[in-house]
Amino acid sequence: MKHAKQSKLKIGLTLASLSLIAGMLPVPVQAFDYPAPGDFAQGAKEWADNCGRCHNIRGAKELRDDQWITTMFHMRLRAGLTGQEMRNILTFLQGSNNPSTGVIVKTSTATGSATSGLSGKDIYSQTCIACHGADGKGVLPGVPDFTRKDGRLSKPDATLLKHVTEGFQSPGSPMAMPPKGGNSSLTEGDLKNVIEYLHQEFGS
């Protein structure tokens, strides 16, 4: 039997008003020195592994950076995450929300066709695998299956490079792939290497 006190509608309206007031409090924040930064790529994997198990995955842009902080501390308790796992996921969400300030993978933003020295396979394993999976079929609902003959890899390389460079949201996917997969240190040469690796590994 439910144990709840009957109260007048007036009390309910008062409490509801308080809710609305709390929700409308302005929080013009830009950056926080807490919690400590986590690992973006690891956060992407942990986000993919945990959040969709209980509820529809919410995209990074559905909340502000400061709202993600309270939300992730709340979810740390609900999902039984460690503090580090929570910080990783928070870094991933904030980084995806605002790639220019939140991506922690490396500090510099690289351009040009020179490469970082990593192979396409190395970059895929470090940056892409969290969402696209080791088999290229995608580990999240809405993430494209690279192994399909008429799938994403059938598009021209110029289109793929544009999507990887600028970010892209597939139909049905809960959130967009962040620019450069969230790793701003990748150069155009690195991205071309990754695309070449995708064709070799998963293409027909």
Partner 1 sequence: MKTSIFPLKPVAFAVLTALAALPAVAAADDLSQLRKTVETLQKQLQEVQKQLEEQQAQAKTEQPASRADVEQLQKQVSEANEWREPNTLVHLAGYADVGYEKTQGNNDDGSFTVGRFSPIFHFQYRDLVMLESELEFEVEDDGNTNTSLEYLTIDLFMNDYATLVAGKFLSPVGQFRQNLHPSWVNKMASAPPGFGHDGAAPVSDVGVQVRGGLPRMGGVRTNYALFVSNGPELSSEDGELEGIDAEGFNKDAEGNKVYGGRVGILPIPNLEIGLSGAWGEAAVSKIDGNEVDINDEGKRDYKVYDADFNYQLGSLGVRGEYVKSKVGSTSKGLAASGSANWTTWYTQAAYKFLPTKWEAVARYTDFDSAVDDRDVKQWALGINYIFTSNFIAKVNYELNDGKNNSAADDNRFLAQLAYGF
Q: Is 49 in the site for partner 1 (CB under 8 A)?
A: yes
- From candidates 114, 141, 154, 200, binder to partner 1 by CB under 8 A: 141
- Binding-site size, partner 1 (CB under 8 A): 63
Is 2 a binding residue for partner 1 by CB under 8 A? The answer is yes
- Torsion, Cα 103 106 107 110, to 10 degrees, reads -100
Binders of partner 1 in range 165-204 (CB under 8 A): 170-172, 174
Return the exposure string of 99-114: e unless at least 16 CB atoms fall within 10 Å of the residue's CB, then b.
Answer: beebbbbeeeebeeee
Least separation in angstroms between residue 36's CB and partner 1 is 8
Q: Two tokens at 177?
A: 């792939």
Scan residues 50-89 and list those touching partner 1 (CB under 8 A).
50, 52-59, 62, 66-67, 69-71, 73-74, 76-85
Amino acid letter for position 177: M
Tokens of 183: 């790793």
Give the residue with the Cβ less far from partner 1, 54 or 158. Answer: 54
Q: Kindly list the distances between the CA atom of residue 34 and the CA atoms of 37, 62, 69, 100, in Å, as whole numbers in the listed order.
A: 8, 21, 9, 18
- x/- string (CB under 8 A) for partner 1, residues 4-43? xxxxxx-xx--xx--x--xx-x-xxxxxxxxx--------
Q: Which two tokens stand for residue 91?
A: 């870094």
* CA dist., res. 74 & res. 135, Å (int): 33
Nearer to partner 1, 72 or 198 (CB): 72
Give the nearer residue to partner 1 in terms of CB position, either 174 or 182.
174
Judge whether 97 and 65 are in contact, CB under 8 Å. yes
CA-closest candidate to residue 41, choices 147, 152, 118 = 118
List residues near partner 1 by CB under 8 A.
1-9, 11-12, 15-16, 19, 22-23, 25, 27-35, 48-50, 52-59, 62, 66-67, 69-71, 73-74, 76-85, 138-139, 141-142, 170-172, 174
